[in-house]
Amino acid sequence: MDSNINKLLSAALDLTENGIMILNKDDVVVYCNQMASELFGYHSHEINGKEYQGLIRHAYETQTGLSIQSHDIDQWLTDAMLLRRTEVYRSFEVDSLDGRWFLIVEQLLEDDHLCVFFYDQTVNREAQEELAHSKSLLNEASSHDLMTGLLNHRTFVDRAKNEISRGYRANEPTALLLVDLCKLKDINDKYGHHAGDHCLVQVAHELKELYRDYDLIGRLDGDEFSILLSGANQEQTESIAQRTQNLFKELDLEFEGRVFKTSITIGAHVLGRSQLPFDQMYHNTEEALLEAKTKGNGSVIITH
């Protein structure tokens, strides 16, 4: 090929956003454009004639270009070289020390030459991560109560059903609690729903702090909260119900400088090592809550 054409082609390839490198059968660079050269810490006019493992070692030692996560570069190179030239076509992803992501494609050519393409995937990857984050936020919004951040009614019921079934298979007890926040209507009527909503958010925060990370906590409706305790027997349920009562006896709910005292009523049903549909368990818990309300604020009724 005419030398002028070679120069033009080389200049054009140096302008591309992607890297191109060609190695001979001895893994020595016979061509490399500017982008690919920078990934190993070189300028394009410096890299021809260098052996590939030497390029990796240079990038590792100078901490430039490609990110090589290893405390033993010799072992890293040994493992990497075992994969090279094992297939006609091979692709994988790597990141660079400046935060970019590259898809590397290796293509075997005639005479055992190897052409390596470095495709900058940073924009695509950022878009994928943003999309995944958006999906995560959407899933979170669809499964949680927007005001309190607790599980919403539908999600709580679905997860509770699964957990009850798991407990039955594992021969473990399960307890369901319904917590009714007393005097919320009075707060709403006197100070407005913003005050009541603020109190609900504080209550949700306190419940999340009190219970275990793997306990299910939901806001079913209005001023009623639900908690499913995995592995909790009668005695343990009584203990956690009492701790919940003690918390609310000492809790001051605040809004715009005002302090509200409130109390809770708790109904609970403990399911032993037997099987019971969630709907029936929930009905039993509702009956216990109604009985507790009849007795007055601050009451706890636990059935089994």
Domain co-membership, 270 together with 205: yes
Q: Does a structural domain hold residue 78?
A: yes
Domain co-membership, 168 together with 264: yes
How many whole angstroms separate alpha carbon 216 and alpha carbon 227? Answer: 5
Structure tokens at 110: 């005639």
Q: By residue range, what is the domain housing residue 214?
A: 144-303
Q: Which of 75, 95, 125 is the last residue of a domain?
A: 125
Tokens 């709580």 correspond to what residue? 156
How many whole angstroms separate alpha carbon 195 and alpha carbon 190? Answer: 9
Please report the pLDDT score of residue 9 as a whole number.
65
Beta strands across the sheet bearing 300-303 = 216-221, 224-230, 174-181, 264-271, 300-303
Please report the pLDDT score of residue 185 as a whole number.
77
Domain co-membership, 236 together with 119: no
How many whole angstroms separate alpha carbon 54 and alpha carbon 29? Answer: 11
Number of domains in the chain: 2
Vertex 250: Cα angle to 247 and 251 (nearest 5): 80
Please report the pLDDT score of residue 60 as a whole number.
93
Q: Does a structural domain hold residue 133?
A: no
CATH number for the domain including 70?
3.30.450.20
Task: Quickly list DSSP for 83-142.
Answer: TTTSSSEEEEEEEBTTS-EEEEEEEE-GGG-EEEEEEE-HHHHHHHHHHHHHHHHHHHHH
Q: Give 24's contacts (C-beta < 8 A, 6+ positions apart).
A: 30, 111, 112, 113
* Whether 266 contacts 245, CB under 8 Å: yes
Residue spans of the chain under pLDDT 50: 1
Q: Give 107's contacts (C-beta < 8 A, 6+ positions apart).
A: 88, 89, 114, 115, 116, 117
Domain co-membership, 184 together with 72: no
pLDDT in tens, 9-63: 666 566 677 899 999 999 999 999 988 999 999 988 889 999 999 999 999 999 9
Q: What is the pTM of this model?
A: 0.56
Structure tokens at 79: 């493992």
Domain co-membership, 111 together with 157: no
* Whether 219 contacts 148, CB under 8 Å: yes
Q: Does a structural domain hold residue 107?
A: yes
Domain co-membership, 46 together with 170: no
Q: Does a structural domain hold residue 149?
A: yes
Cα radius of gyration (the chain): 32
* Whether 98 contacts 120, CB under 8 Å: no
Q: Does a structural domain hold residue 135?
A: no
Amino acid at position 299, single letter: S
List, in sequence order, the alpha helices (H) in the chain: 3-14, 34-38, 44-47, 52-62, 73-81, 122-143, 153-169, 184-191, 193-210, 234-250, 278-295
Please report the pLDDT score of residue 138 as a whole number.
59
Q: Give 17's contacts (C-beta < 8 A, 6+ positions apart).
A: 35, 120
CATH number for the domain including 157?
3.30.70.270
How many whole angstroms separate alpha carbon 145 and alpha carbon 150? Answer: 5
Domain co-membership, 265 together with 156: yes
Please report the pLDDT score of residue 137 as a whole number.
59
Q: How many residues does the structure list for the chain?
A: 304
Domain co-membership, 118 together with 148: no
Domain co-membership, 107 together with 152: no
Please report the pLDDT score of residue 200 as a whole number.
86
Q: Which helix (H) or strand (E) holds 264?
A: strand 264-271
Domain co-membership, 82 together with 196: no
* Whether 174 contacts 231, CB under 8 Å: yes
Q: Does a structural domain hold residue 65?
A: yes
Q: Which of 73, 92, 125 is the last residue of a domain?
A: 125
Please report the pLDDT score of residue 295 as a whole number.
87
Please report the pLDDT score of residue 253 as a whole number.
79
pLDDT in tens, 260-273: 777 889 999 998 77
Q: Which of 92, 125, 158 is the last residue of a domain?
A: 125
Domain co-membership, 148 together with 296: yes
How many whole angstroms separate alpha carbon 285 and alpha carbon 175? Answer: 9
Domain co-membership, 192 together with 110: no
Q: Does a structural domain hold residue 270?
A: yes
> What are the two backbone dihedrals, phi and then psi, of residue 154, each rounded to the nearest 5 degrees?
-60, -45
Q: Does a structural domain hold residue 246?
A: yes
